[in-house]
Amino acid sequence: MSAQPLQSSARESGADTGGSRWTPRVFLAISGVSLLAAALIMVWLVNHEESEAEPSGVLSHIHGMAVNPSDELLYVATHEGLFVLGEDGTPTRVGQGRQDLMGFTLVGPDHFLASGHPAPADDGPSHLGLIESTDAGRTWEPVSLGGEADFHVLRYSHGKAYGVDSVSGQLLVSEDLVNWEPRGSQQLFDLAVHPIDPDAIVATGPSGTLGSNDGGRTWEPIATESMVFLDWTNSGALWGVGPGGDIFDNYDEGVTWRPAVGSAEATPTAFTVVGETMFLATDDGRILEGDDFGRTWREVHPPAS
């Protein structure tokens, strides 16, 4: 069935697992993954979905992070709005917004995309759809799918936005941020787009790692490692984080992972890699920074309590 572009509503589109560039292998379903890995995934899912409000100014329920090229500071998307982390680790609220930013991604200098839910005092639909800021998060404008989509995963690469909509369960892709193409339903924790090939995507879900060579229209299991976050850097390194904070790296498009390069030994809620520096947020509100690919970490923001 051919996918139809979306402008005002998300239509269901079935996903299949057609042929791909990856060598066929035998893969285990989630029932075959170790009991420890399955248990860690379940703990991570519970923590990841919780979103009780915290006092303003406290970094908790961190959903996304990005380093803004304009000022080289870390911007942190949370349940109560967007914050910027100062050089001393002190968070400062950006603008007056207190939206629950579930999805968050960098487009370019001072340019962000986000999704989620409005603040309790705000008017409007319960799902923000896609919102955009071109002033480093000080103000946000609605762009598309307001009241319809809630992107819990949001990425921007090759001039396209890739979003996993928690409402419809679909992967949606847009070149103009207004018209969206459904590319199938698949339970995904996170995804990463190849830095050169916009159709090569690696994603992670309950049964392991999936790969697509057609922009997410079809998927094939490619590895059984249990990871919850991914980041594909311009150097070609694909990084993954397990539910317990273990760091994995890969150089063959998601098939062969080098296990436990390092570990944050914490439950992750967000992850990003900039150059040789990693940032990892934890379920207790900490932000950790590592400059040796996850072997050692230093705390740049303390726990929320």
In this predicted structure, the answer to whether residue 295 has a pLDDT above a threshold of 60 is yes
Q: Which of 111, 148, 112 is nearest to 129 (CA)?
A: 148
Among 37-46, 88-97, 106-115, 147-156, which is the least confidently predicted range? 37-46
Query: In the predicted model, what is the mean pLDDT of the chain?
Result: 85
- Residue-wise pLDDT for 169-183, tens only, equals 999 999 999 999 999
Query: Is the CB of residue 193 less than 8 Å from the CB of residue 199?
Result: no
Specify the pLDDT at position 78: 96
Specify the pLDDT at position 60: 81
Given 3.10.580.10, 3.30.1370.60, 2.130.10.10, 2.20.25.90, which CATH number is that of 30-51+59-301?
2.130.10.10
Average pLDDT for residues 276-304, to the nearest whole number? 93
Query: Is the CB of residue 245 less than 8 Å from the CB of residue 266?
Result: yes
* Stated pTM of the model: 0.83
Specify the pLDDT at position 41: 62
- Residue-wise pLDDT for 14-38, tens only, equals 333 334 455 433 333 334 445 555 5
Confidence of residue 119 (pLDDT cuts 50, 70, 90): very high
Specify the pLDDT at position 123: 86
Of all residues in the chain, what percent carry a pLDDT higher than 70?
A: 81
Domain ranges of the chain: 30-51+59-301
Specify the pLDDT at position 163: 98
How many CB atoms within 10 Å of residue 20? 18
H/E stretch holding 62: strand 62-68
Average pLDDT for residues 50-76, to the nearest whole number? 78
How many CB atoms within 10 Å of residue 84? 17
Specify the pLDDT at position 304: 82
Which segments of the chain does DSSP mark as H helices, in order? 35-49
Question: For 196, which DSSP code?
Answer: S
Token pair 């995904």 in the structure block, residue: 188
Average pLDDT for residues 179-190, to the nearest whole number? 94
CA distances (Å), origin 267, targets 33, 130, 243, 257:
19, 27, 6, 20
Query: Is the CB of residue 200 less than 8 Å from the CB of residue 222?
Result: no
Give Rg (Cα) of the chain: 18
